[in-house]
Structure 1
C-alpha cells in the first residue's frame, strides 16, 4: 500500500506481514463424497447441540455470548490481535437446479458464536489443526472436539483461505458459511412452500431491483439467473413478513396458519428516512425500506430493503442450491444484522456513524480532510455498509472477504470499509474533489483489506469495538 512522501501511513506500521496461500482448483466431488460432506456438516451441528445440552446450555448460545462480549470487552488479551499476528479462491452454479432432499441440507448449531469478543484466543484442536479445512468440513470435528475444530476452522480461513478455482468457486465454501453462520437445518419442502405462495407484499420492489443486480459482473450473470434471485428474495420477504405478523399478534393468538403462512395485513405506508444532508437524503430514498403490507415502526423487522438483492447475490453464487442460499441469507439477516432491515434501517446508520468515528481515530488527517469537503460516510459508504462490501467488484474477492467476515463476525465490515479508505489515502488527500473518487470504491483486494482491518482493530478503544460488535443488532 503506498504511503505519503512526507507522512507515514498510520496503519502500515501495524499491518502484519502475511504469506499468501497457494490456491488450487478443488476437484469436483462425486455424488457419494458430496453426500458425506453434507452429512458431516450436519453431524458437526448435531455434535455441537449435544455438547451444549450436556452442559445445560440453551439450544442457541449466540445471544448469551453477545452479552459476554460486552461484559468482557475490556480484556487485555485481544483475540483478533493474536489472530492478526499469524500469517494470514464448478462450472455453472446449481442455483436453478432442484434443491437437494431434506436430509442433504446441512445443519449447524455450533456453541461458539460468530461475534467474538477480543479476549484470549479459544483453544484450538491439535488434530483439527493438522488437517485441511476441506477435510474438516467433510469429516467433521476430530475426537468430537467441536469447539476446538471450529476455532481451527476460523484460523484456517484467516491464514490460508478457502481453496477456489479462478472464478472464485469452491465446493466447500457454502458449507463453511453455513457452519460459521450457525445456520439451522432447513427442509427443502419449507423453502418450496414459500415459493409456491406466489408474490409477496414486496414482490414489485424485488422485480424493480433484480434485473440490475451486479450487471457489470460477467461471472455472476453467467452463473445465477434473475429468476433464481427473484425466488430467493421473494421467499425471504415472505419469511420476514410472517415474522412481522407473528410479532404483531397478542401472545395468546400467535399461531401459524397451515403451511406456515400468516394472516395478511392490508395496511400500507412508506418510511421516511432521517438523514443529515440533501445528498444523504437522496441516497436514503434510493435505498429506502419497502413496507408494503406493514406499518411504520422502527422496532419492527423489515420485509425488504432495496439493496438486499446485492447482499443475496454472493449466497446464490456460492451455494449449490437455492435452499442453501436461502437458509444462510436468512440467518445473516435475522441473527447477525437485523438492524439493517428494521424500521428506518437504524443499524446501517449506526454503522455509517462508526465508519466516521473509526476513521477519525486511526487517521485524523484523512478524516478532517473528508469532513472539510462535506463528505461523511452517510454519503459515500451507505452501499458498502448495507451489502457488506458486496457492491464493490470483483465477486471472487467479495467471497474471500466474506469468508473472513463470517469467520470472525460481519460487524468487522466496519473496519474493512475504513481499511479501503486508508488504502485510497494518497489519492484522496491529493484530490481537490475526493467525492468523485468515493462514488465507486477501487476493486476489492481481500487480503490487503483483511490485513489493514486487523491493524485497525488494534488501534481502536474497546468501547468503540463494543459498538461495532452490536451496531447491526
Structure 2
C-alpha cells in the first residue's frame, strides 16, 4: 500500500491528491483485488466509481470482467456525450447548469477547513499546534460525509489522530495467507450476525472481508502472546541455572503465566463483540489494509483490557458508567439502582463496541471522530449522556429494563455536546480512572 508520506510530519498517510486517484486506490485495495495476483492488478483499468467492498468475489474470470466493465464505461461515456450535445442544441438556456449533488467527496464543492488542513498539513510545520487545531475542528465542525456516512478523508483523519504509520499490503496478505487462526471457529460464529439489520453496512462490507480482517488480527495477537510467554520463561531458566537451584514443579516455566488463557489459547486473541467493534473500521476505510491497521492498533493500544479473556476493561467501564451517572444525575441513578438496573445489565455492548451497536452507522462514525480526537475513554460519558437524554422516558416507565434493552438512535451532535458539559462535572480522580480503565 504505497502512499506518499504526509506533510504532517506524522506517521499516518495523507489524503490522495484527487478524488479520481482515491477511487482508483480504493478499488485496487479492495477485498476483491486482495486475492488476485500483482500482474492482474497492474493490468486493471481505472474502476467505476462504486464501493469496492459492497460486491462479492467475481464469478467470471477477472480479465474478462475488467474488459467488460471497461467496454461498458467507454460506451456509457460516448452515449453521455451524444446526449449532452443533443441537450445543448435544444436547451433554451445553455448557460444554466444543474447544481452539483453533494456526495461528501469534495467534487464540485468547496473543501472545508478541516479537509484543507488534512491536505496541506500544519502551518510552518508545527505538528503540535496542527494537531490541536485538527482536534478543535473535529469538535466544532462535522466531517463532510454523504447520507451513507461516507467521507473521502475520514480514514486519513483517524490514521493521523491515532498516529498509525503506513502498513505494507504484503504484511496484511502474509497474515491472510496463513489460513485459519486458532480463533477461526469463534470468528465464523459471530461474523454473519455483525450489524445484520443495518442495510448500509451489509451493502458495503462483505462477511468475507470481516472474516479475513478478524482472522489476521487473531494471528497477530497470537504471535505477540507467544513471544511474551517465551521471553519470561527463558529468563527464569537462566536465573535458576545461575543460582544452581533445580526448578520446582510449581514454577515450571512451560506453564503459561497468563491464567486467562483457555485450553486452545484462543480466549485472549478473540472475544465476542470484536466483530462489531471492527465493523465501523471496515465501513469507513478505503481498503482492508487500512482497516486492519486501525483495528489492530486500537485493540492493542487503546483498549487491550476489552479483549482479554476476562474483559476486565469492559467491567471497569461499566462500573464507571454507574459512578459517573451518580455524580452528574443522582436522581436518575437512584431510580435505576432502586429497580436493580446497574450498567452491567444494559450497557455492556455500548462499552465494548464504543456505541457501534446502536444505529445509525453514519452517526456512529461522527461519534468516533470525536472519540479518536479526544480519547476513547470519553465513550463512558457518551453512554451517560444517552441515559440523560432518555431520562423522562425512564422515569415514566415502571420497568426501565424494557427501555434500556435497546438505546434510541444515536444523535452524535447532541451526545457530543452533552458529553463536553459532563466532563466538567467529573472529579479529577474519577477522570483518571476513565482514562486508564481500558488499559
- TM-score, scaled relative to structure 1: 0.66
2:434 is aligned with 1:468: yes
Is the contact made by 1:194 and 1:235 (CA closer than 8 Å) also made in structure 2? Answer: yes
2:198 is aligned with 1:232: no
Return the alpha-carbon distance in structure 2 between the equivalents of residues 446 and 95 of structure 1.
Answer: 29
Partner of 1:215: 196
Partner of 1:343: 309
Given the superposition, is the C-alpha separation of residues 212 and 95 from structure 1 closer, same or farther in structure 2, using an over 3 Å criterion? Answer: farther
Q: Alignment partner of 2:228: what SS?
A: helix
Q: What are the superposed Cα offsets for residues 347-386 of structure 1, whole Å, 9 maximum, x if unpaired? A: 0000000000000001111101111111100010000000
Partner of 1:387: 353
Is the contact made by 1:157 and 1:404 (CA closer than 8 Å) also made in structure 2? Answer: yes
2:323 is aligned with 1:357: yes
Task: Give the CA deviation at 1:342.
Answer: 1.7
Size of the alignment, in residue pairs? 335
Partner of 2:289: 323
Return the alpha-carbon distance in structure 2 between the equivalents of residues 393 and 309 of structure 1.
Answer: 15
Partner of 2:10: 45
Return the alpha-carbon distance in structure 1 between the equivalents of residues 292 and 166 of structure 2.
Answer: 11
Is the contact made by 2:182 and 2:266 (CA closer than 8 Å) also made in structure 1? Answer: no
Return the alpha-carbon distance in structure 1 between the equivalents of residues 436 and 147 of structure 2.
Answer: 35
2:181 is aligned with 1:184: no
Task: Give the CA deviation at 1:142.
Answer: 2.4
Return the alpha-carbon distance in structure 1 between the equivalents of residues 137 and 196 of structure 2.
Answer: 33
Greater shift in the superposed pair: 208-217 or 176-185: 176-185
Q: What are the superposed Cα offsets for residues 40-76 of structure 1, whole Å, 9 maximum, x if unpaired? A: 537531599xxxxxxxxxxxxxxxxxxxxxxxxxxxx
Is the contact made by 2:354 and 2:379 (CA closer than 8 Å) also made in structure 1? Answer: yes
Task: Please give the root-mean-square deviation of Cα atoms over the aligned residues, in Å.
Answer: 2.9
Q: 2:33 aligns with which of 98, 101, 104?
A: 98
Task: Give the CA deviation at 1:294.
Answer: 2.0
Q: What are the superposed Cα offsets for residues 55-109 of structure 1, whole Å, 9 maximum, x if unpaired? A: xxxxxxxxxxxxxxxxxxxxxxxxxxxxxxxxxxx899864243699xxxxxxxx
Structure with more relative contact order (C-alpha pairs < 8 Å, separation 6 or more): 1
Equivalent positions of 1:147-162 (< 5 A) are 147-162=128-143
Q: 2:339 aligns with which of 373, 377, 382?
A: 373
Given the superposition, is the C-alpha separation of residues 138 and 311 from structure 1 closer, same or farther in structure 2, using an over 3 Å criterion? Answer: same
Task: Give the CA deviation at 1:164.
Answer: 0.5
Q: 1:169 aligns with which of 124, 131, 150?
A: 150
Given the superposition, is the C-alpha separation of residues 351 and 329 from structure 1 closer, same or farther in structure 2, using an over 3 Å criterion? Answer: same
Partner of 1:85: none
Task: Give the CA deviation at 1:323.
Answer: 0.3
Partner of 1:459: 425
Return the alpha-carbon distance in structure 2 between the equivalents of residues 97 and 362 of structure 1.
Answer: 49
Q: What are the superposed Cα offsets for residues 403-431 of structure 1, whole Å, 9 maximum, x if unpaired? A: 00000000000000000000000000110
Is the contact made by 2:5 and 2:11 (CA closer than 8 Å) also made in structure 1? Answer: no
- TM-score, scaled relative to structure 2: 0.71
Q: 1:447 aligns with which of 381, 391, 413?
A: 413
Q: What are the superposed Cα offsets for residues 177-229 of structure 1, whole Å, 9 maximum, x if unpaired? A: 01111213311111000000000000000000000000111000000000000
Return the alpha-carbon distance in structure 1 between the equivalents of residues 366 and 348 of structure 2.
Answer: 21
Partner of 2:280: 314
2:397 is aligned with 1:426: no
Partner of 1:436: 402
Given the superposition, is the C-alpha separation of residues 458 and 429 from structure 1 closer, same or farther in structure 2, using an over 3 Å criterion? Answer: same
Is the contact made by 1:177 and 1:406 (CA closer than 8 Å) also made in structure 2? Answer: yes
Given the superposition, is the C-alpha separation of residues 135 and 424 from structure 1 closer, same or farther in structure 2, using an over 3 Å criterion? Answer: same
Given the superposition, is the C-alpha separation of residues 46 and 340 from structure 1 closer, same or farther in structure 2, using an over 3 Å criterion? Answer: closer
2:224 is aligned with 1:243: yes
Task: Give the CA deviation at 1:303.
Answer: 0.4
Return the alpha-carbon distance in structure 1 between the equivalents of residues 427 and 137 of structure 2.
Answer: 27
Is the contact made by 1:412 and 1:468 (CA closer than 8 Å) also made in structure 2? Answer: yes
Q: Alignment partner of 1:442: what SS?
A: coil
Is the contact made by 2:191 and 2:211 (CA closer than 8 Å) also made in structure 1? Answer: yes
2:174 is aligned with 1:193: yes
Partner of 1:294: 265
Given the superposition, is the C-alpha separation of residues 374 and 134 from structure 1 closer, same or farther in structure 2, using an over 3 Å criterion? Answer: same
Task: Give the CA deviation at 1:266.
Answer: 12
Q: Alignment partner of 1:335: what SS?
A: helix
2:385 is aligned with 1:414: no
Is the contact made by 2:218 and 2:269 (CA closer than 8 Å) also made in structure 1? Answer: yes
